[in-house]
Structure 1
Amino acid sequence: MGMFGRRGQRRDGVEQPRDREFTYLSEAEAARLRVLVRDAFAGRGIEVTVESGRVTTGSGWRFGLTNLAAVCHNDRRGPRGWPALVDQHVDRAVRSMDGPQALKALPHEQVLTRLHPRFIPGEPRLLKAFGYGPVSVPGLLEVLALDLPETVDMLTADHLADLGDLTALRERALQNLRAVRVDRHERVKDRSGARFDVLMGDSYFVASLALVLDEVVRRYGKDAPTPDGILVALPHRHQLAFHVIRDSDLVPSLNLMARFAAAGHEESPGALSPAVFWWHDGDFAQVATADGASEYLKLTEEGVALMARVVGG
């Protein structure tokens, strides 16, 4: 997948009617995907009710289709690869219905070695189970998860109750996070003077590296952090973009990063945020988003203040 979108796939053309829930799929493609999901559950003896963005079992368990739709959309094999992708996702979903089995099967120390912090969208329905973490990035929840060979299991507040002190668990998770593998590092530049670094990887915790951003910048960036801070974007779980702020290139870099974040958020599995954030002294503030219908940049109050601080006005 290209950093600004999908390339090279032979699919329904843009002239075909688009699905309302997943606009990057045609109506016919989305209908086929939902049939594949229904049949995959049926093949495991589970009857589901299919809705536009999710399926629901008779017992009330819900399986969202957003990540799966994005995975299929970005698979270069096109629709011929979708049955296998759907089968894999449904298989993992069914195995996770009873909660993380690793908490019961693994020794305590092995559980701790697999513990990582993970960002998920801050949806109100998730607060009861996953609202236990510190408030770090606006609009996102920071949760603890187990990195297992075949799955990544997010831990609810109930799961953590007998595991240990939450602060100590988070510190252990951050320690493990520092060893997360980055598979690809690119530097993006254009004629406007915009520049930023992009880290990518198969790990579900690449975006989580924002929690140790100063260390990441020193390791991968050409410029050391400055007193003006760092711009950062977390389009989805497999990607982190950052820009060390210097007065001469803040405006073009912010514009390009906002478009980059919006594109990655729209079409990728594990979507997190289409916004650009400002990291300063360890805190995050949302500063900008891109208007999808144009190249217009929407600044928050914090974004306006950042512009005044760095470039004046």
Structure 2
Amino acid sequence: MGNLRRRGRSAGDADLPLSPLQVRRLHQLVEATLARAGIVVRPVGDELVVEGGGVYPLRDLAAECATEPTARWPGLVERHVEDVLAPGPSSLAELPDHTLLSAAALRLVPTDSLPEGWDPDAPRVTEDLTSVVTLDLGDEALTPSAAALAERAPHVPWREQARDNLRARARGMDLSHDRVAPVDDPEAGFDLLVGESGLVASTSLVLDEVLERVEEEDRGRGVLVGVPYRHQVVLRVVDGPGAARSIGPMADYLGATHAAAPGPLSPLVHWVRHDDWLPVTRAGDDGAAAEHRLAEALDPEVAQALDI
């Protein structure tokens, strides 16, 4: 397979101005076009996940289609797919060892987006998120199966290498930082970090590095963490009564962002300490974070840390 490029954003593709019916039509066209090339995909959020590895992002194509009549969409899709499938060094065999080692990074992905048996040993970080090894090649992202990585370089400790690389990326990644809080309760605020890299949310797997970016640290009582979509991580250090009061505003923000943003991950607030993630909020019937409500069975350790 050729390049499955992760393209930079353009000014007009933030809202993806397509109706649900148009999105389904776009999925059908891209799936059919890729199927003729022998590539099987299925839609997950704003991407088509490729059976056997990789993703096909739809943001740029959706933005282009939004400005054209639907009668022209088949031609637009054909040209877009031809460009994406242009020959490139996208197979493991074609990549030199030093490139593989430097490109490996841990990535959070929705568990239900992974083909069955993809990586039986991949840790489930939460009920709906799994940590996998991805290869971030700049303009291309590959997510080989664990078996493919082991076959390519059987003596490389891939997960350890990927974690070390993610730490380095978290320290140097270009991020925008905002602190937000309810107007009537400034102590219930939280930090937002957002960036162009598709690994921003995944940096929560190396939380100490992310906390340094906001000049914070775990004070022994854990951190409230949200990863609504792949380009953002939301944080609140548990440091007093304001942390518990921040859960409601965080849940509202995460639920709304998860529902609207490309590359959604989770609408839930989690309490994280020592790499253990425990849910603080629960999802509603529609999948959004419950408004201001805690998980029905809050872990006693979480309740103690939050003084709830």
- Partners of 2:295 and 2:99 lie apart in 1 by 44
Alpha-carbon contact 2:197-2:231 (below 8 Å) kept: yes
User: What residue in structure 1 maps to residue 244 of structure 2?
Assistant: 251
Deviation by residue 1:217-259 (Cα, 9 ceiling, x = unmatched): 1x22243211111000111111111110022202221111111
Deviation by residue 1:103-158 (Cα, 9 ceiling, x = unmatched): 11111121111111111111286341133323333421111111123321111122
- Partners of 1:8 and 1:168 lie apart in 2 by 37
Alpha-carbon contact 2:218-2:237 (below 8 Å) kept: yes
The Cα shift of 1:214 comes to 1.7
1:197 to 186, 191, 209: 191
- Partners of 1:148 and 1:93 lie apart in 2 by 15
Q: Which moved more, 1:169-178 or 1:155-164?
A: 155-164
Deviation by residue 1:7-42 (Cα, 9 ceiling, x = unmatched): 99696xxxxxxxxxxxxx6xxx23334444545566
- Partners of 1:223 and 1:215 lie apart in 2 by 10
Alpha-carbon contact 1:237-1:270 (below 8 Å) kept: yes
- Among all aligned residue pairs of Structure 1 and Structure 2, give the percentage whose two residues are the same amino acid: 27
SS of 1:257's partner is helix
Q: Give the TM-score of the pair, scaled to structure 1.
A: 0.73
User: What residue in structure 1 maps to residue 306 of structure 2?
Assistant: 310
- Partners of 1:47 and 1:173 lie apart in 2 by 30
Alpha-carbon contact 2:280-2:298 (below 8 Å) kept: yes
- Partners of 1:148 and 1:272 lie apart in 2 by 22
User: What residue in structure 2 maps to residue 141 of structure 1?
Assistant: 130
- Partners of 1:306 and 1:256 lie apart in 2 by 18
The Cα shift of 1:166 comes to 7.9
Q: Give the TM-score of the pair, scaled to structure 2.
A: 0.74
Deviation by residue 1:86-112 (Cα, 9 ceiling, x = unmatched): 67874577569xx98341111112111
Aligned partner letter, 2:123: P
2:21 to 31, 37, 60: 31
Map residues 87-98 of structure 1 onto 2, 5 A cutoff.
90=81
Q: Which moved more, 1:298-307 or 1:119-128?
A: 298-307
1:286 maps onto 2:279 in alignment: yes
1:175 maps onto 2:167 in alignment: no
1:184 maps onto 2:169 in alignment: no
Q: CA RMSD in A?
A: 3.8
Alpha-carbon contact 1:121-1:140 (below 8 Å) kept: yes
Q: Structure 1: where are the runs of 5+ without partners?
A: 1-5, 12-24, 49-56
Aligned partner letter, 2:245: P
Alpha-carbon contact 2:90-2:142 (below 8 Å) kept: no
Alpha-carbon contact 2:282-2:290 (below 8 Å) kept: no
Q: Against the structure 1 CA distance between its residues 172 and 258, is the aligned structure 2 distance closer, same or farther, given a 3 Å change threshold?
A: same
- Partners of 2:221 and 2:208 lie apart in 1 by 13
Q: Structure 2: where are the runs of 5+ without partners?
A: 1-11, 49-56
Alpha-carbon contact 1:40-1:86 (below 8 Å) kept: yes
1:297 maps onto 2:276 in alignment: no
Alpha-carbon contact 1:102-1:111 (below 8 Å) kept: no
Q: Against the structure 1 CA distance between its residues 118 and 95, is the aligned structure 2 distance closer, same or farther, given a 3 Å change threshold?
A: farther
The Cα shift of 1:188 comes to 1.4
1:121 maps onto 2:100 in alignment: no
Aligned partner letter, 1:182: D
Aligned partner letter, 1:216: V
- Partners of 1:7 and 1:160 lie apart in 2 by 34
Q: Against the structure 1 CA distance between its residues 7 and 182, is the aligned structure 2 distance closer, same or farther, given a 3 Å change threshold?
A: same
- Partners of 2:80 and 2:155 lie apart in 1 by 30
Q: Against the structure 1 CA distance between its residues 128 and 296, is the aligned structure 2 distance closer, same or farther, given a 3 Å change threshold?
A: same
1:275 maps onto 2:271 in alignment: no
User: What residue in structure 2 maps to residue 61 of structure 1?
Assistant: 40
User: What residue in structure 2 maps to residue 239 of structure 1?
Assistant: 232
SS of 1:146's partner is strand
Aligned partner letter, 1:220: R
- Partners of 1:90 and 1:205 lie apart in 2 by 24
User: What residue in structure 2 maps to residue 230 of structure 1?
Assistant: 223
Alpha-carbon contact 2:125-2:276 (below 8 Å) kept: yes
User: What residue in structure 2 maps to residue 80 of structure 1?
Assistant: 67
Alpha-carbon contact 1:207-1:239 (below 8 Å) kept: yes
Q: Against the structure 1 CA distance between its residues 281 and 298, is the aligned structure 2 distance closer, same or farther, given a 3 Å change threshold?
A: same
Q: Against the structure 1 CA distance between its residues 71 and 276, is the aligned structure 2 distance closer, same or farther, given a 3 Å change threshold?
A: farther
